[in-house]
Structure 1
Amino acid sequence: MKRVLTGLAVLLALPSLATLAVNAEKPLLISDISSENLYSQQQIVAQISMAKRVSQNQLSSLQQEFLMLEQIKNLDAKNLNSQDLEVLAQACRHQPMAYKLHDEGPLTVAIFDVASLAKAKVETYNIHQQYLEISELKQQNPSIFMQRFLVLQGAIEEKAKLKMVPQLSKAEARDVSGQLLATRNVADPLLIAATHQAQDKALYQAVLSQLVDAKAHSLLNSALRNLPAFEQEDLLKTVIQENPYLASQALSEYAKLPGQLRHNALLLETLGDETLGAAAAYAIGKTQDGELQQQLVQLVTGKSAARAQVAHALLALRVADSDYAKRQLRQFVENNQIPFADMQQEVARWVK
């Protein structure tokens, strides 16, 4: 490690590089860059391949930055000393020197981003230090730990808490999730992580009935992995009825439940929903459930079904694609049983 740090410190201490790192303003246009700092793709590959064989005083700007980047990569962000932190502090202020020569337009494209990598290393270090502090507090004073865990802090400490969630027992995670649910937005990352860890149906239900976020899909999948089927049925029914954002996914999963746990009436009722009817049709069709297919036929031929129900019932039979479903679709056409003329014509095209 010392050998790497020394090499990096030497690079950062070079007069010309230090001046550029701290004082330079990033150029916006290629025309603002001197030709010696512009490199074609062929030159980039060649320069990188030679970088570690060139003497220090002969390094090009590209090679200097490449070596800086490589040596920063080698720093263990969880185990930095004061010299490491000083080196990274300088690197965080570094402005790119080497740029790509390209034809896409006049704007500059830096070859390396030393500063972003350095900042990421510093952030990882700070998160790890907070993590160690919170972990020690958990061991020494659990009640103070829980108080601190529940109070909203800065971004670094919140990320340290996220890192710690997998170490919580299910009981601890239930406590954290339940209290955060009362004090934070349902999309709060710590609340979602604690709910994952708690694996509790009531908490899954409380969060997933409200969560409108890409993370909701992952959390629903977590619930389906960790809950027994009879609890899944109750959870999915709640999601279908209360969260339009997740309802389509929940319908698909609901239809996959064992027949003795699934309430077919819920699926059939949803066929009449203008928004979710198509999702319900696909879910029903994929079940290959003979009883459900018979109920679909009754919906189509009955006199009380609404237009949306009939349309989606026909779609469900088409998705099922079983011998029974295909035979029924053909009979609908031959006997003119579909109550809406446009649907009659459409199904006729299906069975040709």
Structure 2
Amino acid sequence: MDPANEFSTPIVTLAEWMGSKAPPNTPRPAVVVIPGAGGGTGSRANNSGHHGRYDSGCEMDDEENSDLVTISSEVTNIIWENGRRYHSYKEGRYPFPNDPLEQEREEILHHLFEKLLGGRLHMTSLDNPQTILDLGTGVGRWAVCMGYLYEDAVITGLDLSPIQDRYIPPNVGFVIDDIEDTWVDPPGSLDFVFCRNMSTSIRDWKRLFRQAYNAVSPGGWIEVQDLHWAFRCDDGTMPADWAPSILIDKIREGLRAMGIEMFAPTMHVHHAEAVGFTNLNATARRIPVGAWARDSELKDIGRLVRDVLCVGLHGMAIGPLTRGLGWSPERVQLFLVQVREGLMDHSVHACIYFHCLSAQKRLGSN
């Protein structure tokens, strides 16, 4: 079986995506790109007067094209571990699966974030954005929705896995890249940088904010949305040995062994200010875990949080606990039985926080 057939998205090389005009030494990542099916070759460059992640067009010789084909196989190869499928490009960089079960969790997360924002896709007030970058786009749902909402904008989603849908607006494209590598976006070329649900993935948040600041145009924005998974309880109903809380502690410990701090949302404001962003609007909303709340809206939100956990439980735990802490897969599975039981116990009134930060690059900034 062709490994690429495991993925829903057609794999296209950077040469096909960029056309035939950019300088031969144009910087690029591992350069597998998935453009919108309706846009055709070079659609990003043709849909806007602004540059996307790459300058429009690129004439590459046969040697360069052969290099791209080699890298394409690196992206589409399949890695199986403990019954889950993982990305092959930058293997091990992202500690969670990319298989259909994980994609289902991402879809639930998208619905949850929409509920938390009152049906909106972002908190930032945008004025006719032309270039939008979605960091860690995953299945690409947010990028696709933004493509329909802002038809004159060019939206680019970045991810390590080619798992995005093939049926997308012509102004949306996906690039396989590592967002913690050095960015190739020209300074001031982006109007809006968006990052969601990446607290369990990023190793150097300060560098990410710095690179975003350099790439954003004066007056442009960054928005970071994240769930802070530290369970809290105000009424004493959460036991000290509640299995879901213990699991989060263990996942955090395992991720730390990989260089990732999953409780990073509390530091986003500090990092944004440190690199020069202004007009910061930061919110932290307490939300229930499970359907125990009396308010109907909070009850629905709590169900979605529980569903995110239940659907994604194995995928969230298996990598950090086996790779980071050296647990056996069998030990993980046995512990997850207790965790699922704990999540279905409505007598425990646990909460987490939803963090959202919007920040602007000052007008006149270099």
- Which structure's residues are more often helix, by fraction? 1
Asked if these proteins are the same fold (TM beyond 0.5), I'd say no
TM-score (ref. length: structure 2): 0.19
Structure with more contact order per residue of length (Cα contacts < 8 Å, sep ≥ 6): 2
TM-score of the aligned structures, taking structure 1 as reference length: 0.20
Q: Which has the higher strand share?
A: 2
* Greater Cα radius of gyration, structure 1 or 2: 1
